[in-house]
Amino acid sequence: MSQTKVLLVDDEVEFVLALAERLQLRNYYVNTANNALEALGLIYKDPPDVIVLDLKIPGMDGIETLKTIKKFDPAIEVIMLTGHGDVRSVEEGMKSGAFEYIMKPIDIGELTSKIDKAHGKRKKE
């Protein structure tokens, strides 16, 4: 089975690095980005299967980034990451085509199962 390609986008470098390492240990191929521009560049260079996107990132608003990604390739699934219960942004994100959302601090098992589900969905298409 080939590795699932995941792109982590969050402005907290420590968080992104630690999470990336944990996912790598679980046999995912992981790229990281700390802002929207970096993320979009990576999506273009190395298109991922699933993106884990923080809703509050510098450069471009999370929702805007989400919409841009969906415009670029609707097949890429996005899991939103939110630091606090900003229900409205989450709803808006779901409407804009996000696959799932997950609250910080995250449970690694929950995250991987959501990534797998998203990837599974992508494969079926």
Partner 1 sequence: MQASKEPKNRMPQNIIAFLHNLFYPLDYFRFLGADRYTSLKIRIILLGAIFSLVPLFIVVTISYFWFQQILKDDFRNQFKWEIGNTKQSIESFLDERLSGLRFLSSAYTYEQLSDQKILADVFSKFKRDFSGLVDIGVIDSNGIQRSYIGPYHLEGRDYANQDWFHEIVVRSSYVSDVFMGYRRMPHFAIAVKKDRPEKGNFWILRATIDEQKLTKYASSINLRENDDAFIVNHAGILQTSSRFHGNVLEKLKEKFALPQEGISVKEVKELNNDQSFHGYAYIKNSPWILVATINSTPYGKIPEIFRSELLVISILSILIGITVIIAMTQIVVNRMKIADQQREEAIAQTEHASKMASIGRLAAGVAHEINNPLAIINEKAGLMKDILEASENLQNNKNKFLVLLTGIFESVKRCRTVTHRLLGFSRRMDLGHDLIDLNDTIREVLEFLEKEILYRNINLKLNLMENLPKVETDKGQVQQVFLNIINNAIDAVEEGGQIEVYSALKEGKFVQISIRDNGIGIPKDKLKHSFEPFYTTKEKGRGTGLGLSISYGIMQRLGGTILVESEVNKGTTFTVEVPIKAESA
Which residues contact partner 1 by CB under 8 A? 12, 14-15, 18-19, 21-22, 25, 56-59, 61, 83-86, 104-106, 108
Question: What is the nearest approach in angstroms of partner 1 to the Cβ of residue 123?
Answer: 26
Beta strands (DSSP E) in the chain are 4-9, 28-33, 50-54, 77-82, 100-103
Q: Which is nearer to partner 1, 75 or 108 (CB)?
A: 108
Rounded to 10 degrees, the C-alpha dihedral 77/31/109/112 comes to 30
> CB-wise, 35 or 96, nearer to partner 1?
35
Strand (E) positions, 44-125? 50-54, 77-82, 100-103
Query: Residue 96 gets which letter from DSSP?
Result: T
CB of 122 to partner 1, least distance (A): 25
Q: Nearer to partner 1 by C-beta: 56 or 122?
A: 56
**What residue type is assigned to position 112 of the chain?**
T
Minimum CB–partner distance for residue 4 and partner 1 (Å): 18
